[in-house]
């Protein structure tokens, strides 16, 4: 009896006991319907596909539950309890482990054995993959883990996972090769989790503000006073004012964007659909250039709820004083002009030098995004030292911001 109690306690670390038999019952119930159908009938084929899709969904739901229920960032009771005890990251989490443990492997292995004994083992995708349940379990687990890494002061590990997801998209239909990259991604996620737990306790208030800022009924939330943000210039007096985009972040974001732009262009080019590849690449590149140019201008000259930054003199005053260009104000247009010239000249140069065609647009987009993020002056420096005047703000009530 004591041994049975120990086994129950051992399994409850990852999943409630009443949930464990549900996936097996669902799969075997669909298998019963398949066995009752006539051989080689359309109904039998449909039930086989339904069984395989249900199998994938159950594995994915388990992966989502595993990270959302155990990670302190998403489990408020777990988070408050950790904050109230002298816990350090050198120890495992006392309630439930976030990492994959032997219980997960055991449950997935039993589910895999049950799946191999069912009719869905004849599905081609099931035969192509190695340990498909483990793959479908880890993918949603890694997606949520990537989101948590960005919110717990370890963005570099989050970028590593995002680059790895691109590798899976690059492999495409070659799903028999998915298992090694997925395992490597889990190792990256595990190291990132250990690193993020070393920064505990986290500033969860700003994450809640980020999550709930788009909700319309903010007044009914009890912590609304903690979410109020002062707008400029009072925001410069805050102890935790926003920091400018670093060089490392600029490089990682631009490389990540270029990598994800390259993947669909490569697949279209490899399939021989060159016209579609160039059309898609042109649309993506035009969208990137317009977003970078106008986004930077709006960020520097337009300010939420306080007004718009305009030159200190209007156009007629500049003409009368022969000062069409005011260096202290128009310096923010120099990075925009440089980015525009680069966006036009770089694809032509790459094509002239015979660069691999599907990589021309991604390389150009990477350079354009990097210049837009990195070129100075920073927005904070511009607001403090720029020569401009502020117009009357638009009459719009922004929920959650302090109006002045």
Q: Which residues contact 263 (CB under 8 A, 6 or more apart)?
A: 166, 169, 170
At residue 213, the pLDDT reads 47
pLDDT tens for each residue of 177-202? 888 899 999 999 999 998 988 888 78
Higher confidence at residue 29 or residue 216?
Answer: 29
Burial pattern 95-105, b for ≥16 Cβ within 10 A else e, equals ebebebeeebe
pLDDT over 70 for what percent of the chain?
74
Among 61-70, 103-112, 360-369, top mean pLDDT goes to 360-369
Higher confidence at residue 296 or residue 256?
Answer: 256
Mean pLDDT value across residues 33-49: 63
Q: What is the DSSP letter of 311?
A: -
pLDDT tens for each residue of 71-80? 888 887 878 8
How far is Cα 258 from Cα 64, in angstroms, rounded to an integer?
Answer: 29
pLDDT tens for each residue of 88-116? 777 778 777 888 888 888 888 878 777 76
Q: What is the C-alpha radius of gyration for the chain, rounded to an integer number of angstroms?
A: 27
At residue 1, does pLDDT exceed 80? no
> What is the maximum span of the chain, computed from C-alpha positions, in angstroms?
96
What confidence category does residue 226 fall into, taking pLDDT thresholds of 50, 70 and 90? very low
At residue 260, the pLDDT reads 93
What confidence category does residue 2 fall into, taking pLDDT thresholds of 50, 70 and 90? low
Higher confidence at residue 172 or residue 224?
Answer: 172
At residue 397, the pLDDT reads 45
Mean pLDDT value across residues 7-20: 69
At residue 221, does pLDDT exceed 50? no
Handedness of CA 298, 300, 303, 309 (dihedral sign): negative
Containing H/E element for 303? strand 302-303
pLDDT tens for each residue of 249-264? 999 999 999 999 999 8
pLDDT tens for each residue of 281-292? 888 899 999 999
What confidence category does residue 204 fall into, taking pLDDT thresholds of 50, 70 and 90? low
At residue 376, does pLDDT exceed 50? yes
Mean pLDDT value across residues 5-29: 71
At residue 233, does pLDDT exceed 70? no
At residue 47, the pLDDT reads 61
At residue 340, does pLDDT exceed 90? yes
At residue 371, the pLDDT reads 93
**CA distances (Å), 130 to each of 8, 104, 119, 182, 287, in order?**
30, 17, 17, 11, 39
Q: What is the DSSP letter of 117?
A: T
Task: Tell me the pTM.
Answer: 0.80
How far is Cα 47 from Cα 39, in angstroms, rounded to an integer?
Answer: 12
Handedness of CA 327, 330, 331, 335 (dihedral sign): negative
How far is Cα 397 from Cα 216, in angstroms, rounded to an integer?
Answer: 12
Handedness of CA 176, 177, 181, 183 (dihedral sign): positive
397 Cα distance to chain centroid: 30
With contact defined as beta carbons under 8 Å apart, do 69 and 138 qualify? no
187-191 long-range contacts, Cβ below 8 Å, gap at least 24?
188/157, 188/160, 188/161, 188/164, 189/141, 189/142, 189/145, 189/146, 189/149, 189/157, 189/161, 190/99, 190/100, 191/157
What confidence category does residue 24 fall into, taking pLDDT thresholds of 50, 70 and 90? confident
Mean pLDDT value across residues 206-235: 48
How far is Cα 222 from Cα 346, in angstroms, rounded to an integer?
Answer: 52
At residue 202, the pLDDT reads 80
How far is Cα 307 from Cα 303, in angstroms, rounded to an integer?
Answer: 6
Mean pLDDT of the chain: 77
At residue 248, does pLDDT exceed 50? yes
What confidence category does residue 146 fall into, taking pLDDT thresholds of 50, 70 and 90? very high
* 114 exposure class (CB count in 10 Å sphere: 0-12, 13-18, 19+): middle
pLDDT over 90 for what percent of the chain?
20
Phi, psi of 401 (to 5 degrees): -110, 150
How far is Cα 152 from Cα 200, in angstroms, rounded to an integer?
Answer: 8
Burial pattern 378-399, b for ≥16 Cβ within 10 A else e, equals ebeebbeebebeeeebeeeeee
Which tokens belong to 251? 């490089």
At residue 330, does pLDDT exceed 70? yes
Q: What is the DSSP letter of 313?
A: S
Beta strands at 389-390 and 302-303: parallel, antiparallel or unpaired: unpaired
Helix (H, G, I), strand (E, B), or coil: what is residue 394?
Answer: coil
């Amino acid at each position: 009896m004591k041994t049975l109690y120990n086994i129950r306690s051992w399994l409850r670390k990852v999943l409630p006991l009443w949930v464990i038999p549900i996936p097996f019952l669902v799969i075997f119930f669909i298998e019963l319907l398949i066995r009752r159908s006539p051989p080689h009938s359309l109904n039998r084929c449909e039930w086989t596909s339904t069984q395989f899709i249900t199998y994938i969904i159950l594995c994915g739901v388990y992966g989502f539950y595993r990270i959302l229920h155990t990670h302190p960032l998403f489990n408020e009771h777990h988070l408050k309890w950790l904050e109230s005890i002298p816990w350090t990251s050198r120890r495992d989490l006392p309630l439930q482990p976030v990492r994959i443990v032997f219980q997960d492997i055991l449950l997935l292995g039993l589910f895999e054995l049950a799946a191999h004994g069912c009719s869905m083992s004849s599905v081609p995708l099931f035969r192509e993959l190695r340990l498909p349940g483990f793959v479908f379990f880890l993918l949603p687990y890694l997606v949520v883990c990537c989101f948590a890494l960005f919110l717990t002061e370890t963005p570099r590990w989050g970028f590593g996972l995002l680059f790895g997801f691109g590798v899976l998209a690059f492999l495409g239909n070659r799903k028999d090769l998915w298992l090694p990259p997925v395992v490597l991604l889990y190792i990256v996620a595990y190291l990132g989790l250990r690193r993020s737990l070393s920064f505990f306790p986290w500033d969860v208030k700003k994450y809640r503000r980020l999550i709930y800022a788009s909700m319309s009924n903010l007044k009914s939330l009890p912590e609304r006073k903690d979410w109020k943000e002062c707008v400029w210039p009072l925001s410069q007096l805050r102890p935790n004012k926003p920091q400018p985009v670093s060089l490392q972040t600029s490089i990682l974001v631009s490389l990540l964007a270029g990598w994800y732009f390259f993947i669909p262009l490569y697949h279209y080019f490899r399939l021989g659909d060159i016209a579609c590849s160039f059309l898609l690449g042109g649309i993506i590149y035009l969208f990137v250039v317009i977003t970078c140019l106008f986004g930077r201008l709006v960020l520097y000259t337009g300010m939420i709820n306080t007004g718009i930054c305009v030159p200190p003199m209007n156009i007629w005053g500049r003409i009368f004083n022969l000062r069409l260009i005011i260096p202290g104000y128009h310096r923010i247009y120099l990075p925009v002009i440089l980015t525009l010239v680069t966006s036009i000249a770089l694809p032509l140069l790459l094509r002239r030098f015979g660069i691999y065609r599907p990589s021309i647009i991604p390389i150009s987009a990477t350079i354009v995004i990097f210049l837009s993020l990195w070129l100075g002056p920073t927005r904070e420096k511009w607001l403090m030292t720029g020569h401009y005047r502020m117009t009357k703000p638009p009459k719009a009530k922004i929920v959650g911001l302090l109006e002045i």
